[in-house]
Amino acid sequence: MDRRGWFTVVGGLVVALGLAFLVAALSGGFGNPLPTGPVPAGSAQVSRGARLFAARCASCHGVRGEGGTAPALDTDLFRRTYRDRREVAAYIKLNMPLDRPDLHYSQAADLADYLFSLRGRPS
């Protein structure tokens, strides 16, 4: 295997380990569990997520997640596609904001809780 091939293998391992670390952190492996059941509408996580969404996400995703320059997050498609709050939190942590992902995993978890709280609303 040439030098470039080794860099590809090592890079892939680093990414895989990083994802494993993130999933462990979001699933409670580091003392900050993300619950998997229904999100209570008035919970502190949902409130924090709503404030964070208004400050950091609404400019692209719309005030109520209805979409704008970025995809809508309050649709049936979103509800069918994303059923696990940990998966959504991991995606947010790794990818949002799009221009510079910089959210702490607890912020990503709060945002996921907020997004899942929107599920009770008609789309």
| Tens digits of residue pLDDT in 80-116 | 888 888 889 999 999 999 888 999 999 999 999 999 8
User: 42: domain CATH number?
Assistant: 1.10.760.10
Which of 102, 90, 99 is closest to 52 using CA atoms?
Answer: 102
Number of separate domains in the chain? 1
Range of the domain at 43: 3-120
Contact 17, 24 (CB under 8 A): no
pLDDT in tens, 24-72: 555 555 544 454 555 566 689 999 999 999 999 999 999 989 999 999 9
